[in-house]
Amino acid sequence: MSDTTASKKAAIVALKEARFSNRAVAEKENVAPSTVSRINNRYGPTHHFDAKTFRPSRRRKMDDRDIRTALRMLSSGQAKNVADLQRRFFPHLHVDTIKARLREHGLGAYVRQSKPLL
């Protein structure tokens, strides 16, 4: 999917304001009728064709305060590992979620290296 240029957005909005149907505008501008509808709904009222629209992202399940709590519990010994941490302090979260958030903050799992038999 490619981005529609500002000039094409302006042409679509101008044709829609001239009372053309979505299908007619789509045929003239060589886009899908759903694209015409989406562009008209998004940029028609404001005419800011270069503006990027705000799209809120999904809220994190584990915020920075929870991360600090988890790090404190692990470093103080109140939790032995991530499974213990999840069981005692974050029962509403999956273990993999906690691991991923801790990994983002630089706390990874220790992988024991095997020693070769001599």
Kindly state the tokens that stand for 65.
């305060």
The model's pTM is 0.48
CA distance 9 to 15: 10
Instruction: Identify the pLDDT of residue 99.
Output: 92
| pLDDT, tens digit, 9 for 90 and up, residues 31-53 | 999 999 999 998 888 888 887 76
* DSSP secondary structure letters along 77-92: TS-SSHHHHHHHH-TT
Encoded tokens for 53: 């629209």
2 near 31, Cβ under 8 Å?
Answer: no
Supply the mean pLDDT for the chain: 88
